[in-house]
Amino acid sequence: MAKPLILVSNDDGITSRGIKKLVELMKQLGEVIVVAPDSPQSGMGHAITVGDTLRIKENRLFGEEVRSYECSGTPADCVKLAKHHILKDRKPDLVVSGINHGSNSSISVLYSGTMSAAIEAAIEGTPAIGYSLCDYDPDAEMDHVDEYLLKVAQEVLDKGIPKGIALNVNFPASQSQKIKGIKVCRQANARWEEDFDQRVDPNGRKYFWMVGNFVNHDKGEDNDEWAIANNYVSVVPCQFDLTGHHAIRVLNDEWDI
Amino acid sequence: MAKPLILVSNDDGITSRGIKKLVELMKQLGEVIVVAPDSPQSGMGHAITVGDTLRIKENRLFGEEVRSYECSGTPADCVKLAKHHILKDRKPDLVVSGINHGSNSSISVLYSGTMSAAIEAAIEGTPAIGYSLCDYDPDAEMDHVDEYLLKVAQEVLDKGIPKGIALNVNFPASQSQKIKGIKVCRQANARWEEDFDQRVDPNGRKYFWMVGNFVNHDKGEDNDEWAIANNYVSVVPCQFDLTGHHAIRVLNDEWDI
């Protein structure tokens, strides 16, 4: 039987340590092809390139046996280009994105380029997983994730994912205790409260840096923030049908239309 | 009683016709302030500016009585800057985004900068509406939307929106028949199938334009694509908790973790 074909992308850019680690692990499970941004794309959300051109360039960043392409676009662009141009003859069996240097749990899933690559694949019906490490240090220790990262990917290759879903997987940062296991969770009710650090440039003009403070309003124990804080790997099944079905009834009852 | 404060943004940029129309209409309902991108941001999804600076500049594009700011960032950045810097002392009662020149129905909501501004506001608990006209012509006729656009905004000002929800409103393009009314809908099961138009630049290097073909798989009559095709204004309540709750049970049952 042919080995599964695994497409790897990310949002930190093709030279980041996280994608190198992800490629090394995926080589244990199948044939790997990489299509990833040529520059960092953190915070790009589900952006796509609509008013500009795209370029791709083949490279050998992951050794002679791995086909690899850097792309000028966003993570979602990379998946579209991979599926509809580079891989025209054979669709991937699995799309993985990451390992992101930083958390994509709770509300951060909306801003996440990592997850947009996974969701883009899921829209087209390919099983897909976004992996993130809750440590923003680009040199962070990562070896503690290997066992759990492979476990989730193998389960998905064996059993698939429900239709209309991509998985958002977050790993606790490395610490002295071993990870306790994997928890399937809901997205925590948390958000970023922004502050703006105002400065003056050398020409005397004002500019700002956005500074986010994470605020967790969720007291439950069935959500991703709880899982990560308690040293579990969190797995949130994310859907791309955003309809709030409960609200349809409310609006139809209350509105005079 | 003080007039409601209405924050207006968009993704086509502060000089587009759609935002001018939206400001004119909102002036009938309250005090208007504009914070919008200084350049087109279509397809930006829920992107935010994390690794770069932001600039804002006050202008008088909408007359002397409307405070207005152009911002170097994305639509989501504009809402964050408005709420946490420009409007520090008084929060808006309503955030509206648009009128987008082009549809943001069904799956396009994910790629939509227009809707990211509305969803960003909803995350922070402010009632929010994204408005889009299903006509990509920047000079498209728009006056047929006035009555329905105001109606939706007034209902929201009067009755609010369920927590965790922003409204995605799409108007049919102008045509000979009058719009039939407003339908509260679910997001249609449709997607874009991409093709890549490959060209060669004057230096002999390949580049691509992404070309999307919209494919509607949905046979139902309770979704936004059906509503628009049948000359209704579609209103989809969109949530930002992406959890696919049904899938949590499936994964817990099937996975060996």
Report pLDDT digits (tens) over B138-170: 899 999 999 999 999 999 999 999 999 999 999
Question: Helix, strand or coil for residue B85?
Answer: helix
* 8 Å CB contact of B181 and A257: yes
* 8 Å CB contact of B46 and A45: yes
Backbone angles phi, psi at A58, to 5 degrees: -75, 145
Q: What is the distance of C-alpha A185 from the center of its chain? A: 16
Quick one: pLDDT band at residue A240, thresholds 50, 70, 90? very high
Tokens of residue A5, six digits: 């074909």
Mean pLDDT, residues A30-41 taken together: 95
Q: Which CATH number covers residue A29? A: 3.40.1210.10
Closest partner residue to B107 (CB to CB) among A85, A111, A123 is A123
Closest partner residue to A237 (CB to CB) among B77, B151, B248 is B248
Mean pLDDT, residues A203-231 taken together: 94
* 8 Å CB contact of A196 and B84: yes
3-state helix, strand, coil in chain A (%, to 5): 30, 30, 40
By C-alpha distance, the chain B residue nearest A42 is: B50
- Domain encompassing residue B141: 5-188+220-254
Tokens of residue B61, six digits: 């594009």
Indicate which of B126, B156, B233, B243 best probes the interface with A, i.e. most A CBs within 10 Å of its own CB.
Answer: B243
Residue-by-residue DSSP string for B94-129: EEEEEEEES---GGGGGT-HHHHHHHHHHHTT--EE
Smallest CA-to-CA distance from B12 within B133, B143, B193 is with B133
Report pLDDT digits (tens) over A177-199: 889 999 999 999 999 988 899 99
Query: Which residues of B make up each annotated binding site for a divalent metal cation?
Result: 11-12, 42, 100
A197 belongs to a structural domain:
no
* C-beta atoms surrounding A164 within 10 Å: 17
* 8 Å CB contact of B42 and A50: yes
- Residues of chain B found within 8 Å of residue A245, distances taken between Cβ atoms: 186
Indicate which of A201, A242, A246, A248 best probes the interface with B, i.e. most B CBs within 10 Å of its own CB.
Answer: A242
Sign of CA dihedral A110, A115, A117, A120: negative
Alpha carbon dihedral A59, A60, A65, A67, in 10-degree steps, equals -20
Closest partner residue to B186 (CB to CB) among A47, A205, A248 is A248
A214 belongs to a structural domain:
no
A68 belongs to a structural domain:
yes
B208 belongs to a structural domain:
no
B205 belongs to a structural domain:
no
B194 belongs to a structural domain:
no
Mean pLDDT, residues B41-46 taken together: 82
* 8 Å CB contact of B242 and A109: yes
B244 belongs to a structural domain:
yes
What is the pLDDT at residue A212? 85
Beta-strand runs (E) in B60-105: 67-71, 94-101
B202 belongs to a structural domain:
no
pLDDT greater than 90 at residue B121? yes
Most confident of A34-43, A231-240, B204-213: A231-240
Closest partner residue to A251 (CB to CB) among B119, B184, B248 is B184
pLDDT greater than 90 at residue B212? no
b/e per residue B150-168 (b: at least 16 CB within 10 A) = ebbbebbeeeebbebbbbb
Question: Helix, strand or coil for residue A51?
Answer: coil
Report pLDDT digits (tens) over A115-133: 999 999 999 999 999 999 9
Mean pLDDT, residues A205-225 taken together: 94
Task: Identify whether the C-beta of residue A129 lies closer than 8 Å to the C-beta of residue A169.
Answer: yes
Q: How far is A171 from chain B (nearest CA, A)?
A: 15
What is the ipTM for the molecules in this complex?
0.93
Give the separation between CA A72 and CA A53, rounded to whole angstroms.
9
Backbone angles phi, psi at A184, to 5 degrees: -80, 125
What is the pLDDT at residue B44? 82
Task: Identify whether the C-beta of residue A244 lies closer than 8 Å to the C-beta of residue B239.
Answer: yes
- Residues of chain B found within 8 Å of residue A107, distances taken between Cβ atoms: 123, 240
Domain count, chain B: 1
> Would you give the DSSP letter of residue A54?
B
Closest partner residue to A155 (CB to CB) among B40, B165, B255 is B255
pLDDT greater than 80 at residue B72? yes
Q: How far is A101 from chain B (nearest CA, A)?
A: 14
Indicate which of B210, B249, B250 best probes the interface with A, i.e. most A CBs within 10 Å of its own CB.
Answer: B210
* Residue B206 neighbours by CB under 8 Å, 6+ apart: A55, A56, B198, B199, B200
* 8 Å CB contact of A85 and B196: yes
